[in-house]
Amino acid sequence: MSEPIYVTQPFLPPLRELQPYLEQIWKNRQLTNAGPFHEQLEQALCNYLGVDHISLFANGTLALVTALQALRIAGEVITTSYSFVATAHSLLWNGIQPVFVDIDPESLNLDPAKIEEAITPQTSAILPVHVYGRPCDTAKIQQIADIYGLKVIYDAAHCFAVQDQGGSVLRHGDLSILSFHATKVFTTFEGGAIVSPDAKTKQRIDFLKNFGFADEVTVVAPGINGKMNEFQAALGLLQLKYIDDALKQRAEIDCRYRAALSSLTGIRCLSLPESKRHNYSYFPIMVEPEYPIGRDALYDRLKNSNIFARRYFYPLITDFPMYRGRPSARPERLPVAMAIAGKILCLPIYPELTEPQVARIAEIIADV
């Protein structure tokens, strides 16, 4: 049996290149609390991503929880069931009630046409997800938010480096959050960030991620410990040197999969977004009824060949016990999300995935 192939593999820079960063940390003796690498990484990411204000976090979930705190979101928030469970969990950790709205069958993102009917007097915000790094209909969502006076926080965990016609997709809404988890395109092992529109908002977020401290003797809010440490920040700075190569390799793999799979009956590759820059963070396919076997049977068949595809996002968030009793979680309210969750399969994609490996995965899918 050949080596196992996982859905993703972290892209790690040469180990010896980490040594000088570690020596610097040992010399500085500052391990966390806005150390020099932390400050450098915030600046470097602003430049690379094309945004003005970034606050680094220990992970993406703390960034989500803190973003909701920063804007004092309460009551009900409209969100999607077609995401990683942290999206909705961040609401429960803030005592906010999630209200689930169905997704668009093409974008797989929150369907703007279904948002308005879910708004109540308690609604304070919309929490959409740019699923697989394919941008939401940000113009339509903003239009609805403006009419009803709602905040918009984007879960942009999949969106590192993604740009639409106007620039970074992270500029949309009131805040966007990123994840730098080991499984993401850009990783600091664990890590995350909030992108803010102005310096004042960033400052409030920086207080919140450090227990609410504004200075040595002043605590202005019941903050949390969400800080990114110097080791993570050093990993980020090193990783950033290789990110363009990594994205290029991902693009090539995406292209090879499309060439090998797009003519297969019953296999549908998701269209590439019209974004100016995509990050190829996932390679999702739909296993349609015309395909000889079902999605789960294909998943098992790949697994038997030591290839570990993932059914992102199955189960839906609304299938989990802390959500499924809610009126908005009823299956008849979410027909599109239900249908997609039943046929989606994310194939392995990561920079070091080789051409023969892609060919082998495609062959197994074609040979069914």
Ligand X SMILES: *Cc1c(COP(=O)(O)O)cnc(C)c1O
155 contacts ligand X (rule: CB under 6 A): yes
Q: How far is the CB of 178 from ligand X (least distance, A)?
A: 8
Tokens 């269209």 correspond to what residue?
271
Which 114-133 residues touch ligand X, going by CB under 6 A?
Answer: 129
- 331 phi/psi in degrees, rounded to 5: -50, -35
Which of 35, 60, 173, 348 is the binder for ligand X (CB under 6 A)?
60
Asked whether 160 and 225 are in contact (CB, 8 A), the reply is: no
Which of 25, 86, 260, 334 is the binder for ligand X (CB under 6 A)?
86
Q: How far is the CB of 11 from ligand X (least distance, A)?
A: 16
Q: Is 361 helix (H, G, I), strand (E, B) or coil?
A: helix
**Whole-angstrom Cα distance, residue 203 to residue 14?**
35
Pick the closest to residue 187 from 238, 129, 126, 147 (CA basis): 238
Q: Which amino acid is at 156?
A: A
174 contacts ligand X (rule: CB under 6 A): no
Tokens read off for 18: 């980490």
**Whole-angstrom Cα distance, residue 188 to residue 238?**
9
Q: In 149-225, where does DSSP find H-type helix?
A: 199-208
192 contacts ligand X (rule: CB under 6 A): yes
Segment contacting ligand X by CB under 6 A, of 29-37, 82-90, 209-217, 221-229: 82-90
291 vs 323 by CB, closer to ligand X: 323
60 vs 112 by CB, closer to ligand X: 60
313 contacts ligand X (rule: CB under 6 A): no
87 contacts ligand X (rule: CB under 6 A): yes
Which of 69, 80, 81, 83 is the binder for ligand X (CB under 6 A)?
83
Segment contacting ligand X by CB under 6 A, of 26-34, 153-161, 276-284, 314-322: 153-161
Segment contacting ligand X by CB under 6 A, of 78-86, 96-104, 162-170, 302-310: 78-86
46 vs 182 by CB, closer to ligand X: 182
Q: Which amino acid is at 239?
A: Q
Q: How far is the CB of 190 from ligand X (least distance, A)?
A: 6
243 vs 358 by CB, closer to ligand X: 243
35 vs 60 by CB, closer to ligand X: 60
70 vs 157 by CB, closer to ligand X: 157
157 contacts ligand X (rule: CB under 6 A): yes
181 contacts ligand X (rule: CB under 6 A): yes
Q: How far is the CB of 304 from ligand X (least distance, A)?
A: 27
98 contacts ligand X (rule: CB under 6 A): no
Q: How would you class 326 by CB atoms within 10 Å of its CB: exposed for 0-12, middle for 13-18, buried for 19 or more?
A: middle
84 contacts ligand X (rule: CB under 6 A): yes
Q: How far is the CB of 81 from ligand X (least distance, A)?
A: 12
Q: Looking at beta carbons, which residue is closest to ligand X?
A: 60
Asked whether 246 and 185 are in contact (CB, 8 A), the reply is: yes
The residue length of the chain stands at 368
Long-range contacts of 224-227 (CB under 8 A, 24+ apart): 224/62, 224/65, 224/66, 224/69, 225/58, 226/57, 226/58, 226/62, 226/63, 226/65, 226/66, 227/32, 227/33, 227/34, 227/56, 227/57, 227/58
Pick the closest to residue 43 from 194, 237, 214, 215 (CA basis): 237
**Conformation bin of residue 186: beta by default, left when phi > 0, alpha when psi is -120 to 50:** beta
Residues near ligand X, by CB under 6 A: 59-61, 83-84, 86-87, 129, 155, 157-158, 179, 181, 192
